[in-house]
Amino acid sequence: MSEEEDRHTLSVQFANQIINTANNRIQEGMDPLDIAAGMRHAAANFSAFAVANTETPDEVDPTYFAEEFLQIYAYYLEKHAAPKQVQTGLEALIKQVRDEN
**What is the torsion angle, in degrees rounded to the nearest 10, for the CA atoms of residue 21, residue 23, residue 26 and residue 31?**
90
Residue 87 has pLDDT above 90, yes or no: no
Predicted pLDDT of residue 88: 74
Ordered by start, the domain boundaries in the chain are 3-100
Predicted pLDDT of residue 89: 78
Per-residue pLDDT tens over the stretch 28-83: 999 999 999 999 999 999 999 999 999 999 999 999 999 999 999 999 999 998 87
User: pTM for the whole thing?
Assistant: 0.73
Mean pLDDT of 17-36: 98
CB 60, CB 51: distance < 8 Å:
yes
